[in-house]
Chain A
Amino acid sequence: METLELLKTLTEAAGPSGFEGNVAAIIRELWMPYVDEIRTDALGNLIAVQHGNGPEPRPALMAAAHSDEIALIVKGSEDGFLQIGSLGGMDRRVLLGLAVTVHAEEPLLGVIGSRPPHVLTPAEREETLPWHKVFVDVGLPAEEVARRVRVGDTITFDRPLIELQNGCVAGKACDNRASVAALTLALAALRQREHSWDFYAVATVQEEVGCKGAVTSAYGIAPQIAIALDVTFAKQHDDSDPGAFDLNKGPTVGIGPNFHPQVVEKLKAAGDAGEIPYQIEPLPGSSGTDAWAIQVAREGIPCGLISIPARYMHQPVELLSLRDVERAGRLLCEYVAALQPTDLPRWEDEA
């Protein structure tokens, strides 16, 4: 499947944090041809493995890409208009005027309404609406809404992935389906390659509400190394400060306390050997990714991080370069293929 089609399939699926069933089923279908085993754990993490050809007991590498997306949740209704709240870190500055899907028993199309400019005071036009003033209109009478929509139903953006110039795409949930796409590409490529380690691909759940899926999947797999795949901030018209990276110049490799130096070095070496461009992303504290949770699972797991630069994070127009998605997948593939059976991360001062 070409990358555009893959990413379109993944981003257009719904998977709010804690409600990843729909997208997980799609990912399962995508991964099945490339894996030896696949299972779902108690929290909903999708865990697939490609066995390596090294001697047993084989070390395991876990690559985690979260499959959940930021979303909204129904809190109540007033005269048929739905009152909503955030599920994950939703940016309420972008909500007005958007089409959404209300995941009731039968999905409903809705629009996040606002009073037209003709009837607003100048002060009202300046106001980012607080949650209690934001509502969803599903175009149904109040009694129909009461019958069909329940408190706790989730809401996702209704936004197809679109192609822009230069292989850029924009849409919802590119955070983090772009990484799920990269992981899928790595699985497909590694199926054709020799690798000595067991390679676990995990589509984790509930990252946006605190990396919950990473905690349990890392416990369950107990890998010797873990690589998280996520998105990071790309430079954009209103933000080119440090911490934002070039679009379409390759994924970033995280460096900082969250990451084992030897994992970082081998990721860089894989990029250099494969002639894959990458950027170094300094992360002095929490990386804000699954890697932060995985690192402290069990007795501690050496981690690395590959991130795809994306503009307009947590907005329904998350924009990124398809080539960066492919490069992230290739970087992971080259890294895994290069791992030798004895390549357990060590500290310089370790005996």
Chain B
Amino acid sequence: MTTPLLETLFTLSNIHGASGDEIRVRQALRPMLEGHVESLRVDALGNLIALKRGTGALPLRVLVAAHMDEVSLMVVGHTSEGCLRVENCGGIDTRLLPGLEVRVGPNLLPGVIGQKAVHRLSNGAMKAPDLDRIAVDIGASNKDEAIRLAPVGTRITFATQARELGQLVAGKAFDDRAGCTLLVHLLQGPPLPYDLYGVFTVQEEVGLRGARVAGFSIEPDMAMALEGTIADDLPKPPGTDISPTSEISKGAVITVMDRSHVSAPRLVRHLTQVAEARGIPYQFKQPGIGGTDAGALHIARGGVPSAAVAVPCRYIHGPIALLHPNDLTHTHTLVRAALEQLTPDILDPNAD
């Protein structure tokens, strides 16, 4: 099971890019984009901005964003045994940390996260760990060596390598290397009727920082965020009736409203009409959950009609996410088709 989309996803998933430290992701993206776009530049915050000239048929400027950063940890101190104290950088469920293998710092030193042995807990101490009881062990002999190898501020990311898992694929940082994958292939494809700005953003996980400045500088007529979003089609806690946020293998996920943004209704209608007309499977994300770069893009300058389209991924923000290759393909197909059929009247708020 390999496709060009999956190859790109695997390559990008394996790269380490904490928020504010996305340089390795940029370095991997450049060769994928060179030759397919007119220009590539890096802005003041580190966003990688690709301009793909259109055919000139439509006088529009469209921004499509996918974020390069992933949830991570940062070294904030050192213990006398030579372990690293950490804080999270982006939203991580602390309960997932014990038992993990991680990569530490620019040299990607291997490390592990362990906790007090279950044999040596006092009765009733099975509670979930607080972050201040978590430490990363790189095998340093003492505090001085730990400080030398991983000073305060050092970034730590999950060590997972992407691979197949059943009918799905597994890897870290599918949020949002899945979105980056879609954007790479969009930019590698034929030109659209208008100029397309593909923006690989920084610092989404710490507050949509990159998207905010890119939205300002590009001043687009329309914006779209591409994401890997929550698929929680999982066994339900007993006695509850929770509708899943999205589901694996049910197609592209279209956001109507989340915590950051209400999608432009005309864009949502356009996306669904294109999906229906082309027979592309899609689903709506359950409203009110999560946020995307569209949350910053839609309020850039005087406001930008915006939408968010995502690939459903199980276990995002954890060390191993899963997605279905068909969902990646369907989302790619939908995004390209919707952009190809975009017309200025769809963006005109007075057209209704």
Contact = CB atoms under 8 A, between A and B. Distances in A.
Interface string B131-152: 0010101111100010001000
17 contacts: A97-B100, A99-B170, A109-B164, A116-B230, A118-B230, A119-B289, A128-B95, A133-B237, A135-B234, A140-B167, A144-B167, A165-B145, A238-B133, A239-B117, A313-B117, A315-B98, A317-B137
- Listed from nearest, the 9 A-B pairs whose CB atoms lie closest are A312-B114, A139-B166, A164-B139, A168-B139, A94-B99, A139-B168, A317-B112, A165-B139, A313-B117
A312 B138 contact: no
Contacts of A312: 112, 114-115, 117, 137
Contact of B93 (A111, A125, A170, A313): A125
Contacts of A98: 99-100, 319-320
Contacts of A128: 95, 126-128
B317 A116 contact: yes
Given A125-B95, A237-B81, 20 more contacts: A78-B235, A92-B126, A96-B93, A97-B315, A99-B170, A113-B315, A116-B318, A119-B289, A137-B315, A139-B322, A140-B167, A162-B112, A165-B139, A165-B141, A236-B83, A237-B135, A239-B117, A311-B137, A312-B117, A317-B100
Interface stretch (A56-64, A240-248, A338-346): A240-248
B347 interface: no
A238 B115 contact: yes
Interface in B311-336: 314-320, 322
B225 to A, nearest CB: 16
B110 A162 contact: yes
Interface string A67-98: 00000000000110100000001011111111
A280 interface: no
Contacts of B95: 93, 96, 114, 125, 127-129
A137 B314 contact: yes
Interface in B233-264: 234-235, 237-238, 242, 245
Nearest to B98: A94
A233 interface: yes
Contacts of A141: 167
A156 B93 CA distance: 23
A117 B138 CA distance: 27
Interface string A315-350: 111110000000000000000000000000000000
Interface string B67-99: 000000000000101010000000111111011
**Is chain B's interface secondary structure helix, strand, loop, or mixed overall?**
loop
A111 B320 contact: yes
Contacts of B237: 133
A108 interface: yes
Contact of B320 (A95, A99, A319): A99
A147 interface: no
B113 to A, nearest CB: 7
Contacts of B129: 93
